[in-house]
Amino acid sequence: MAALTPAFLFSVLRHEWRRLSRFLVIGISSLGLVIGLYKLISLVLWKNGPPTVQYTFVVIIVTWLNYEANRWFTFEVRERSAGNAGRFATIAIIATGLNGTLFWLGHEVLRIPDTLVIILNTALIAFFTFTSHRFITFHERPWRFFER
């Protein structure tokens, strides 16, 4: 495995730029969708609902849309397969758990405004999901980084 030098990281970024930029377009669109749906649910449809439950529900819906968009647009995988769908679901469940926990911690415990927590969560979860989907979900040999 190569050392994590600035030159190595720059070469990886240059090589992954197209995928990363597409992922960012989907991510920014998803952020807008999450904020919009969350506000619709929390302010109109279910005003007295628990914010963490409302947010987690929205994240689950947008996660499914993300799978379709990233499979087709970002990683250019045209066929659905049980393998990549299962790996995506596993990573999505982990990300959703992290997302809900961070939202609860930021909004309920630390009393940070919900929209700011959503934006911060999106940045953290985006890093986790891009690397996971790139090297596990949509990779030809998904677990090769764990082989010796």
Beta strands in the chain (DSSP E): none
Q: Which tokens hold the place of 97?
A: 């758990």
What confidence tens digit (pLDDT) does each residue in 109-136 have?
999 998 999 889 888 988 888 888 888 8
Q: Which tokens hold the place of 68?
A: 């379709």
Report d(CA 41, CA 37) in Å as an integer: 6
- Yes or no: say if 30 and 55 are a contact pair by the CB < 8 Å rule: no
Of the candidates 53, 66, 44, the one whose C-alpha atom is nearest the C-alpha of residue 108 is 53
What confidence tens digit (pLDDT) does each residue in 27-67 have?
899 889 999 999 999 999 999 999 989 988 898 899 889 88
Q: Give the pTM.
A: 0.66
